Amino acid sequence: MPKMKSHRGASKRFRATGSGKIKREKAYGAHINSKMGRKKVRGLHQSALVDSTQSKKIKRMILA
């Protein structure tokens, strides 16, 4: 039986923390930031955690 391969797109977007939670980057922070406030842009640069309802699915993709 062949090896299970990790989902390459998911493994580039998500990282596992030391406690096993999944970390992600926030959306809408790449460009067209001139019309946003500075506070909002700074907030978009911070990472966030994946919701618990999706974490099992993403763990299977990146840790396979």
Specify the pLDDT at position 62. 92
Q: Decide if pLDDT at 1 tops 90.
A: no
Domain ranges of the chain: 8-62
CATH for the stretch 8-62: 4.10.410.60
DSSP state of 44: H
DSSP state of 1: -
Average pLDDT of the chain is 93
**What is the pTM for the complete model shown?**
0.79
Do residues 22 and 49 make contact, with C-beta atoms less than 8 angstroms apart? yes
DSSP string, 27-41: SS-SS--TTS-HHHH
